[in-house]
């Protein structure tokens, strides 16, 4: 029996906490005791302040930053200086390095093994397909426009977003419910391409775009759905691994935020969260348990557990529930 595709998730995904020092050339080294990893995508948020979410990737290069509220890429040499062999280096910008303030960085390595691909492309304004490098059908992607300042253009596909996900769209930058649109040309992705309409948000003529695409890997990542029960003893969601990161969104109701939980904030159950569609400081309400084989809602609010509402999620592992040798992981 194949329990997991990846025994060591830390080789492909890490959550890193750090404290800013307000100085240039602040080197952040991953402090876990597992495998070294040079990240290809680094997403930084100041936990203490209402600074913007900052996303950097190795395809666009260090100092090239996107903010979810704006979308447009800017060059800022005071932000992320470099991707290093086991971490990254930040400069003195307050969004990434205010003295004494606390930050979280979610970091991914691009590879076929981990099911993550970064794709940069130019828009044509016409219906077409775009190749990806996953060698598997993508389950989740986010596309943003790099050359225009429009935060509403962080367009999301999720393979469990309604019964016909190729006809629907969510936006990472807003609290809106899912919308039936033709952005994906009403065509399901394949193991080699995904489909685009001529919509200016994802394929405008002459536009520049970035796409982050993932496919699920047993024991490492899962992109699923669950129904809320409206109870503080909330729904349990089986992932097949102990999550290090969970992103979720209610697809039925507008006014419900995206939320991110991870295994480092605060490091025990229940956990703190950050909404990527808002530039809030960390919310210390305890509303999610991360377990050895999944996660469980611990609140009855609309953002994660409204009765009869559907939620999509993207989760990445700290450890597989059972490794390739049949050895189970420990609970938190």
pLDDT (average), residues 160-173: 97
Give SS3 for 315: strand
- 231 Cβ neighbours under 8 A, 6+ residues apart: 300, 305, 307
DSSP 96: H
Please give the Cα distance from 110 to 12 (Å, whole number).
8
**195-239 residue pLDDT tens:** 999 999 999 999 999 999 999 999 999 999 999 999 989 999 999
pLDDT (average), residues 292-311: 94
* Mean pLDDT of the residues in the chain: 94
Instruction: Check whether 151 has a pLDDT greater than 80.
Output: no
What is the pLDDT confidence band of residue 1, given thresholds at 50, 70 and 90? very low
What is the pLDDT confidence band of residue 152, given thresholds at 50, 70 and 90? low
Q: In what order do the strands lie in the sheet with 310-320?
A: 221-227, 310-320, 241-250, 259-262
Please give the Cα distance from 47 to 102 (Å, whole number).
6
> What number of other Cβ atoms are within 10 A of residue 180's Cβ?
10
- 127 Cβ neighbours under 8 A, 6+ residues apart: 185, 195, 196, 197, 198
Identify which of 92, 93, 95 has the alpha carbon closest to the alpha carbon of residue 104: 95
Backbone angles phi, psi at 203, to 5 degrees: -165, 35
- 179 Cβ neighbours under 8 A, 6+ residues apart: 168, 169, 170
Q: Which helix (H) or strand (E) holds 108?
A: strand 102-108
Tokens representing 276 are 């990527």
Q: What pTM did the predictor assign?
A: 0.96
Identify which of 302, 253, 261, 260 has the alpha carbon closest to the alpha carbon of residue 277: 260
What is the pLDDT, as a whole number, of residue 331?
64
What is the pLDDT, as a whole number, of residue 324?
78
pLDDT (average), residues 290-295: 96
CB 109 within 8 A of CB 100: no
DSSP 97: H
**26-64 residue pLDDT tens:** 999 999 978 999 999 999 999 999 999 999 999 999 999
What is the pLDDT, as a whole number, of residue 72?
85
CB 272 within 8 A of CB 287: no
Instruction: Check whether 122 has a pLDDT greater than 90.
Output: yes
Please give the Cα distance from 287 to 304 (Å, whole number).
9
What is the pLDDT, as a whole number, of residue 123?
96
What is the pLDDT, as a whole number, of residue 59?
97
Q: Which helix (H) or strand (E) holds 74?
A: strand 74-75
**79-115 residue pLDDT tens:** 999 999 999 999 999 999 999 999 999 999 999 999 9
What is the pLDDT, as a whole number, of residue 332?
60
Instruction: Check whether 258 has a pLDDT greater than 50.
Output: yes
CB 90 within 8 A of CB 79: yes
pLDDT (average), residues 146-159: 83
What is the pLDDT, as a whole number, of residue 70?
78
């Amino acid at each position: 029996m194949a329990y997991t595709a990846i025994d060591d998730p830390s080789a492909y995904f890490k959550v890193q906490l750090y404290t800013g020092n307000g100085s240039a050339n602040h080197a952040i080294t991953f402090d876990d005791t597992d495998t070294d990893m040079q990240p290809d995508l680094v997403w930084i948020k100041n936990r203490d302040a209402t600074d913007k979410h900052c996303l950097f990737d190795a395809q666009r290069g260090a100092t090239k930053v996107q903010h979810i509220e704006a979308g447009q890429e800017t060059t800022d040499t005071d932000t992320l200086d470099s991707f290093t062999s086991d971490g990254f280096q930040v400069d003195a910008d307050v969004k990434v390095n205010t003295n004494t303030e606390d930050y979280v960085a979610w970091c991914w390595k691009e590879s076929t093994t981990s099911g993550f691909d970064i794709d940069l492309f130019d828009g044509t304004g016409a219906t077409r397909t775009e190749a990806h490098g996953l060698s598997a059908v993508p389950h989740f992607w986010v596309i943003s426009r790099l050359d225009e300042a429009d935060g509403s253009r962080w367009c999301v596909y999720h393979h469990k977003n309604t019964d016909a996900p190729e006809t629907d769209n969510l936006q990472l930058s807003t609290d809106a419910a899912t919308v039936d649109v033709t952005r994906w040309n009403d065509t399901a992705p394949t193991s080699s391409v995904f489909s685009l309409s001529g919509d200016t948000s994802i394929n405008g003529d002459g536009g520049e775009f970035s796409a982050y695409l993932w496919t699920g890997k047993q024991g490492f990542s899962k992109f699923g759905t669950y129904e809320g029960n409206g109870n503080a003893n909330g729904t349990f969601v089986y992932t097949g691994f102990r999550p290090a990161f969970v992103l979720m969104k209610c697809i039925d109701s507008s006014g419900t935020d995206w939320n991110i939980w991870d295994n480092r904030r605060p490091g025990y159950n229940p956990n703190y969260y950050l909404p990527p569609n808002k530039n809030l400081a960390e919310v210390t309400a305890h509303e999610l348990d991360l377990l050895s084989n999944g996660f469980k809602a611990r609140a009855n609010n609309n953002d994660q557990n409204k009765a009869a509402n559907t939620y999509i999620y993207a989760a990445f592992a700290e450890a597989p529930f059972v490794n390739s040798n049949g050895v189970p992981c420990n609970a938190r």
